[in-house]
């Protein structure tokens, strides 16, 4: 509580607005990403993230509006379209999952770059600055934008919490969930859609290139601390929130330092710390609990001599 009050006193109002929006996105991305990581679909978010640039560019071309809500809605449409294309390639071709993901990721990202650069070169109204969606543009967030990010993030966390039992079963054993009569396919599609939503919402915070880190790194770090799903969700959400706040504060104190890369670096630092000091799973705990080496028969004879 005290650190939050201290930040409220020391930081300017605009920075507090950005910090609130990015922290909400980081927390929700950690919660939603936990189920994606447990489902072994971490790279699905990466494919969706790189496809958002196409939707952002097309939304501006079709509507002529530059509001964040319109651009993010276009990014969500293209992200879902990329995921549908990914499923179709997997189902109707002999392409492996990793190869299909690489194809969708690279082609959609290339198309998005071509659209945005072409629009900027031809002077399409409102196209200037769209390239900032590559690495995020938190400095341009308004109170309305931060409120939008907070509302969407809250709804995403609420969806996970309300369907936690079903989502957990599908994440760990989809075959058993389907055999038990649950709509495993619908639940699976809902989880994928939530990942796409968080990827799109995270665009202003980290950009299309780095937003996947918000969905993957906090759950992976949280996995080092616990074996239970609810504590993992809480820890992942907390790590995402802290990374968002820390990234905004550090980038505001340093000149010409983008917020998105800083948030990702802070998340990477949290992962390294968890990897080293986490109980039972951490490197120090494993080294401490490592049994002493039993001497071989040859070593015992040498010692006896």
Per residue in 13-53, pLDDT tens?
A: 677 888 888 999 999 999 999 998 888 877 888 888 889 99
- What's the CATH code of the domain at 83? 1.10.3470.10
Instruction: Judge whether 156 lies within some domain.
Output: yes
Domain count, the chain: 1
The answer to whether residue 165 scores a pLDDT higher than 80 is yes
Instruction: Judge whether 81 lies within some domain.
Output: yes
Listed range (18-32, 67-81, 136-150, 291-305) with the worst mean pLDDT: 291-305
Instruction: Judge whether 62 lies within some domain.
Output: yes
Using alpha carbons, select from 29, 76, 32 the residue that is nearest to residue 51.
76
Listed range (61-75, 150-164, 228-242) with the worst mean pLDDT: 61-75
Per-residue model confidence (pLDDT) at position 292: 52
Instruction: Judge whether 296 lies within some domain.
Output: no
Kindly state the helix (H) or strand (E) to which residue 92 belongs, with its residue range. helix 68-92
The answer to whether residue 221 scores a pLDDT higher than 90 is yes
Tell how many helices (H) and how many strands (E) occur in the chain.
14, 0
What pTM was computed for the model? 0.85
**Could you report the per-residue pLDDT of 49-89, keeping only the tens digit for each?**
889 999 999 998 888 888 888 999 999 999 999 988 888 88
Using alpha carbons, select from 21, 20, 18 the residue that is nearest to residue 4.
20
Residue 234 vs residue 183, higher pLDDT: 234
Listed range (144-148, 159-163, 263-267, 292-296) with the worst mean pLDDT: 292-296
Residue 125 lies in domain: 2-289
Instruction: Judge whether 28 lies within some domain.
Output: yes
Instruction: Judge whether 247 lies within some domain.
Output: yes
């Amino acid at each position: 509580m005290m650190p939050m009050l201290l930040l409220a006193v020391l930081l300017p109002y605009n920075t507090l607005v950005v910090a609130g929006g990015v922290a909400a996105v980081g927390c929700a991305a950690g919660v939603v990403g936990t189920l994606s990581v447990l489902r072994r679909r971490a790279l699905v978010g990466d494919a969706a993230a790189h496809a958002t640039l196409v939707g952002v560019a097309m939304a501006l071309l079709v509507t002529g509006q530059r509001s964040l809500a319109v651009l993010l809605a276009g990014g969500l449409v293209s992200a879902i379209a990329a995921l549908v294309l990914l499923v179709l390639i997997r189902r109707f071709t002999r392409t492996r999952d990793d190869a299909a993901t690489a194809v969708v990721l690279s082609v959609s990202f290339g198309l998005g770059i071509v659209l945005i650069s072409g629009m900027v070169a031809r002077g399409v109204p409102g196209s200037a600055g769209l390239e900032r969606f590559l690495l995020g543009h938190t400095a341009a967030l308004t109170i309305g934008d931060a409120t939008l990010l907070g509302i969407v993030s809250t709804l995403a966390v609420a969806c996970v919490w309300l369907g936690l039992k079903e989502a957990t079963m599908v994440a760990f054993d989809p075959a058993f969930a389907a055999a038990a009569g649950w709509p495993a396919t619908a639940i699976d599609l809902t989880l994928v859609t939530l990942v796409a939503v968080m990827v799109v919402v995270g665009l202003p915070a980290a950009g299309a290139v780095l937003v996947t880190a918000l969905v993957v790194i906090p759950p992976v770090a949280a996995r080092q601390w616990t074996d239970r799903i609810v504590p993992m969700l809480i820890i992942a959400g907390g790590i995402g929130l802290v990374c968002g706040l820390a990234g905004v504060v550090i980038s505001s104190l340093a000149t010409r330092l983008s917020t998105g890369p800083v948030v990702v670096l802070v998340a990477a630092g949290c992962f390294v710390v968890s990897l080293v000091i986490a109980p039972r799973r951490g490197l120090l705990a494993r080294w401490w609990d490592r049994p002493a080496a039993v001497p071989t028969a040859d070593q015992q004879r040498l010692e006896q001599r």
